[in-house]
Structure 1
Amino acid sequence: MRSVLLVPLFWVTSLQASWLPSWFTKLFNDKKLNERYTIIKPIKPNFLEADFTGDKINDIAVQIVDKTNKKRGVLVINGGTNKHYIFGAGSKFASEDFDDTNWLDGWSLHKDKVAYKTLFDTGGDISGSKKVKISHVAISIYAIEDGSELTGALIYWNGAKYVSIHQGE
């Protein structure tokens, strides 16, 4: 398990201004998200930027940790609407059964128009996969074991809301 370096809030805030787009940092603070969450950058890239919703305006995803429960998650702020969405960090993950991404070793932009959702039987064993159409760029988060992606989730906008699908073991 990785350790998290906790630094004084004023230092984190000044770091956020230096490596994140200013509009994102301003919204993070204006929405008072900085009171509950700390933006962390345990893996590279430090943030993901793409048009996740198809509105032709880039959105930003960062990794966060809840200051109270220390659970990790992903925060997305949509550039066009300025709405924010939290996956994990103590909140139920979209379409999944977990609320902490402490297992996350890597993330990337998924630009393919197709993904495969892992299916499980009632006993929890993998029973196959289902092809899923993805209309916009998605966020792929995953655990790594022996240098390969082992398991993870794909977070994507389905036209009305963010959902996720389980991928891998």
Structure 2
Amino acid sequence: MTRFSVIFFALALLAESSFGKRTPPATVEPVIHEGVRYIAPNDDGRRAHIEAWDVQTNRKLWDLTVFTNRIDPKLEEDVQWFFIDKLGVHDETLIVKSERGITYQIDLKTKAITQSEAAWSAIPGVPAHRNEIPELIERAITNGSLAKKYELSYRMNPFYLRGDFDGDSKIDAAALVKERSTGKLGIAIVHGSTGKVTILGAGTAIGNGGDDFEWMDSWRIHARDHATDETSAPKLRGDALLVSKSEAASALIYWNGKRYVWSQHGD
């Protein structure tokens, strides 16, 4: 074998071994707040998660998935991995920043996760948020039996929220969905403990919201312990969803122990 052939063969092997391989994730500096150390292990390419450890006893208190990476089997898997690259804490909120520039805010009391309204960081031609679907939503809607009738909707940022909606101390998820046959928009709530899915809107009417939430232009978590002076405010068993149309109506959607109900807040 000539010297040129040896060099060419070596370069070919190097290219093959490096193609499609991503660099290792950054080591994220832990943060400590009120005796608890929060770390991002970055040890699972499919799941970005946070661990909370008691500083005094070094006992793990909880583990929470912040986002998952949706994997296309036709592509190299590791180039589809995105990790956490920064942690911070402000008041009772843990701030988590992903490698894509997406910021997640975790309420340390309820462990409810929301995304900031900052612009999405996108790969050319691929909306970044489509690759960060929580496992609970993906299992129930994207890959489940409901996929034939509904699809996720990305018309608003964030397109999903997490909280304890039924008050069982398990994290649930709510996602924007669209009924395939009609194009009607709504919300799918997935209970973390059972995987049960409730569709609100998207062809299923609820309260004054009707069966199409096309009117809704914002939504957020309304925490169970949210202080209010309204005497008519419902007593919440868990976190609620505050859905609204700018400069118009808003309403709470909450679990009453048997089903999700609508409480109008304005006209």
How does the TM-score come out when normalised to structure 2? 0.48
**Aligned twin of 2:203:** 90
- Residues 1:105 and 2:220 aligned together: no
CA deviation after TM superposition for structure 1 residue 96, in Å = 3.5
Q: Quote the Cα distance in structure 1 between the aligned partners of 2:148 and 2:133.
A: 18
Residue 135 of structure 2 is matched in structure 1 by 22
The number of equivalent residue pairs is 140
Q: Percent identity?
A: 29
C-alpha distance 37-115 of structure 1, shift in aligned 2 (>3 A)? farther
CA contact (8 A) 1:65 1:73 kept: yes
Structure 1 residues 97, 20: CA separation in 2 closer, same or farther (over 3 Å shift)? Answer: closer
Q: Which of 155, 164, 167 is the aligned partner of 1:51?
A: 164
CA spacing shift, 1:163–1:66, aligned 2, 3 Å: same
Aligned counterpart, 2:234: 132
> Unpaired segments of 5 or more residues in structure 2?
1-125
Greater than 4 Å deviation, 4+ residue runs: 113-116
User: 1:43: how far off?
Assistant: 1.4
1:32 match: 145
Q: Residue type matched to 1:133 in 2?
A: K
Secondary structure of 2:139 counterpart: helix
* Cα deviations by residue, 1:87-129 (Å, 9 ceiling, x for unpaired): 1111111x3461110001000000126585xxxxxxxxxxxx8
In structure 2, C-alpha distance between the alignment counterparts of 1:132 and 1:38, rounded to whole Å: 31
Aligned-residue offset at 1:31: 3.5
Distance, in Å, in 2 between the alignment partners of 1:166 and 1:152 is 6
More strand by share: 1
Match of residue 246 from structure 2: 144
Quote the Cα distance in structure 2 between the aligned partners of 1:45 and 1:29.
17
Contact 1:134/1:158 (8 A) holds in 2: yes
5+ residue gaps in structure 1? 1-11, 117-128
